[in-house]
């Protein structure tokens, strides 16, 4: 008999059998097990149903990011500088193509596939899964795209697609300013925003330099999402739904496209840079560096031949000289030295310094550019004739630290904040700077060199334009500005602080600059503006690249023009206009151009007149001796308007 069977109660005839203690324990244990089982089933099927449903769904549904439309860029008048246009492209899927090389050979009969582009496509095809499409060609014209569509049935694995691609309608004219976009690459993984999921999208393009890089987070936008059904190996079956992303914000720059075009045309054939600023607002109207590069070539991938040509060009077309060039400012720095001396009280407007052609320091002679000397000169005449001896003396009196402080106040030294890459600091040296940088004590000879803008002092054309705008302004530290609007709203502009310089002292320096450009005998008199309503105040400068050695002089090399091009001095010119109510400031540097009055001043004057008149200036604005030449040049340009961009560089 079962040991856990029911037993009858002998004292109560007819009573139902009783459960033994052991039987009760067994039933209790069974009930507990069944309860736990039911509780677990409830947790799995009811409480966690959504979680497990999602896990099951993820086995067959993938979420893929959709790239947003990149924000577009415009000039101050709303003219397009960087656009998104339809990109007719051809993609290839390896598992559908079979013999990839054979398919590419057949495709090459219909479209041009350069060797470097074919090599890149093959690398991607081999490195990615067989079902992932790889771009073989893009930015095709409509006729070519239609030809591929017509022949697609005979091209296994080839699919024509329409997407968006970045396009720069002005090409080289704004390559340095805008920069370019290109595929996210291995060397981009150290960027601060490299963890953005968008960068995982195949062929996703990001800003590499210029405004495109500096404003990448604003221009990029945010990703959308597409839910797609895939099979066990990850191949797409169908799209279930999609949510579009938010497009990037449109940007309006302060650049005036007409002025930018003219500045580049006027500097054609030179290795040069010009920056034009609006004095009241700080808006940069032109930021031109020549020669340039076409950013469109970088969007799809530049060939090795073209890349090598850019790298090997001695005119450095990839360098944005306007913001990254570092040049001794030469005599354009003399206004800073004059203001430092005036503010320190070690010089007066009526005080004269005698120039006999040299300044003796110990057993060394620091020469003036005019070997015979200028005689007795006061401040205005010293700026007008650019007398070196006068500024040697002023620098000695005031000292380098106070000169440096004044230079920084006027925008030299630290780089200004600007929404683009490659903006470099200049150098406004001090005693402490030399000790920290070179481990050497400052010498009086160093101070004399700084007094004429040579030695350790360096600046970019952008910084010189800021300096000139502050010299011509109303005593405010005007800040350069490149972005005018963002997402249709005005970009914030900080209120400029006061310069903290005596208005009377500023007036004295301005008068000297006016004499340079608008009085006979000034170093830029030949490049003056003749219109009385538009008179210009400026300053020429020549920065020494290297001294002519005694051995070279013995061989007859006595002039800058006798040296090879890359050893000649740099030419500089800065100016503001109109004289009475300044509106614009300009700085122009011509690399290895020689004298500032000969090479830089004529270019800067012509660009300035375009800004002042808003177009082609009247002939009366030019000096009488130039008008016939200007008229003949304009006639030639009207006859051959397309030839100007093909002018060969003069590297004699």
Rounded to the nearest 5°, which phi and psi values hold at 86? -60, 130
Pair of tokens at residue 90: 């051809």
Rounded to the nearest 5°, which phi and psi values hold at 306? -65, -40
Where do we find the tokens 């051959």? 640
Pair of tokens at residue 379: 């401040």
* Whole-number Å distance between alpha carbons of 158 and 160: 7
* Whole-number Å distance between alpha carbons of 221 and 206: 11
Pair of tokens at residue 642: 């397309």
Q: Which of 471, 333, 463 lies closest to 394, judged by CA?
A: 333
Rounded to the nearest 5°, which phi and psi values hold at 209? -160, -175
Where do we find the tokens 């590419």? 104
Orientation angle between helical segments 334-344 and 503-518, nearest 10 degrees: 150
Q: Which of 65, 108, 69 lies closest to 85, judged by CA?
A: 69
DSSP readout, 220-245? H-B-EEEEEEE-TT--EEEEEEEE--
* Whole-number Å distance between alpha carbons of 352 and 83: 59
| Of 331, 385, 459, 597, catalytic | 331
Q: Are the C-beta atoms of 388 and 523 separated by less than 8 Å?
A: no
Please report how many Cα atoms fall inside a 13 Å half-sphere around the Cα of residue 547, on the Cβ side.
7
The CA angle 639-266-521, to the nearest 5 degrees, is: 115
* Whole-number Å distance between alpha carbons of 82 and 118: 27
Where do we find the tokens 């030294």? 413
Q: Which of 605, 585, 600, 384 lies closest to 470, judged by CA?
A: 585
Q: Note if 385 is an active site residue.
A: no
Pair of tokens at residue 248: 């990037």
* Whole-number Å distance between alpha carbons of 51 and 56: 9
* Whole-number Å distance between alpha carbons of 221 and 241: 21
Which helix (DSSP H) or strand (DSSP E) does residue 151 occupy? Answer: helix 142-151
Where do we find the tokens 């074919």? 118
CA distances from 476 to 466, 473, 508 (A): 11, 7, 17
* Whole-number Å distance between alpha carbons of 647 and 269: 7
* Whole-number Å distance between alpha carbons of 483 and 284: 9
Q: Are the C-beta atoms of 125 and 92 separated by less than 8 Å?
A: yes
Q: Are strands 272-278 and 134-140 parallel, antiparallel or unpaired?
A: unpaired
| Cβ neighbours for 554, distance < 8 A, ≥ 6 positions apart | none
DSSP structure class, residue 261: H
Q: Which residues are catalytic?
A: 331
């Amino acid at each position: 008999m079962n040991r856990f069977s029911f037993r009858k109660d002998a004292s109560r005839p007819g009573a139902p059998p009783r459960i033994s203690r052991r039987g009760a324990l067994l039933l209790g244990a069974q009930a507990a097990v069944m309860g736990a089982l039911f509780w677990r089933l409830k947790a799995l099927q009811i409480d966690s149903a959504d979680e497990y449903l999602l896990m099951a769904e993820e086995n067959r549904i993938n979420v893929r990011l959709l790239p947003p439309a990149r924000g577009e860029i415009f000039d101050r008048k709303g003219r397009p500088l960087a656009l998104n246009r339809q990109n007719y492209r051809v993609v290839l899927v390896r598992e559908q193509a079979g013999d990839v090389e054979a398919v590419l050979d057949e495709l090459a009969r219909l479209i041009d596939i350069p060797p470097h582009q074919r090599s890149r496509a093959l690398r991607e095809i081999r490195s990615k899964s067989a079902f992932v499409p790889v771009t073989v060609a893009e930015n095709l014209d409509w006729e070519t795209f239609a030809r591929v569509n017509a022949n697609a049935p005979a091209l296994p694995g080839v699919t024509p697609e329409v997407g968006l691609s970045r396009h720069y309608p002005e090409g080289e004219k704004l390559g340095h300013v805008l920069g370019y976009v290109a595929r996210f690459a291995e060397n981009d993984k150290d960027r601060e925003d490299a963890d953005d999921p968008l960068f995982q999208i195949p062929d996703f393009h990001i800003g590499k330099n210029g405004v495109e890089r500096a404003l990448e987070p604003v221009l990029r936008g945010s990703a959308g999402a597409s839910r797609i059904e895939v099979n066990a190996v990850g191949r797409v079956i169908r799209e279930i739904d999609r949510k579009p992303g938010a497009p990037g914000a449109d940007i309006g720059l302060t650049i005036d496209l007409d002025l930018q075009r003219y500045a580049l045309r006027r500097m054609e054939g030179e290795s040069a840079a010009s920056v034009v600023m609006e004095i009241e607002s700080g808006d940069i109207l032109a930021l031109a560096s020549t020669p340039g590069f076409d950013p469109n070539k970088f969007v799809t991938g530049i060939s090795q031949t073209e890349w090598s040509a850019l790298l090997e060009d001695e005119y450095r077309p990839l360098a944005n000289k306007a913001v990254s060039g570092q040049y001794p400012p030469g005599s354009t720095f003399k206004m800073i030295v004059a203001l430092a001396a005036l503010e320190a009280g070690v010089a007066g407007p009526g005080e004269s310094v005698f120039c006999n052609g040299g300044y003796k320091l110990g057993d060394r002679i620091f020469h003036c550019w005019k070997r015979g000397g200028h005689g007795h000169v006061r401040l205005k005449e010293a700026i007008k004739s650019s007398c070196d001896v006068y500024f040697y003396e002023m620098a000695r009196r005031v000292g380098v630290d106070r000169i440096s402080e004044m230079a920084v106040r006027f925008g030299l030294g630290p780089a200004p904040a600007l929404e683009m890459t490659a903006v470099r600091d200049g150098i406004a040296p001090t005693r402490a700077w030399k000790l920290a940088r070179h481990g050497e004590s400052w010498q009086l000879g160093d101070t004399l060199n700084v007094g004429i803008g040579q030695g350790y002092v360096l600046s970019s054309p952008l910084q010189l334009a800021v300096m000139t705008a502050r010299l011509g302004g109303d005593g405010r530290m005007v800040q350069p500005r490149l972005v005018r609007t963002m997402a249709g709203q005005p970009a914030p502009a900080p209120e400029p602080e006061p310069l903290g310089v005596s208005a009377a002292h500023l007036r004295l320096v301005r008068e000297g600059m006016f004499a340079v450009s608008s009085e006979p005998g000034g170093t830029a008199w030949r490049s003056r503006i003749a219109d009385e309503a538009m008179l210009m105040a400026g300053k020429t400068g020549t920065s020494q690249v290297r001294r002519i050695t005694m051995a070279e002089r013995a061989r007859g090399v006595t002039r800058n023009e006798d040296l090879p091009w890359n050893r000649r001095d740099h030419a500089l010119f800065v100016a503001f206009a109109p004289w009475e109510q300044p509106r614009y400031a300009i700085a122009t540097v011509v690399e290895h151009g020689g004298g500032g009055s000969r090479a830089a001043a004529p270019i800067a004057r012509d660009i300035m007149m375009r800004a002042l008149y808003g177009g082609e200036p009247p002939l009366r604005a030019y000096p009488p001796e130039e008008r016939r030449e200007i008229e003949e040049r304009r006639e030639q340009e009207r006859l051959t308007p397309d030839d100007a961009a093909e002018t060969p560089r003069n590297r004699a």
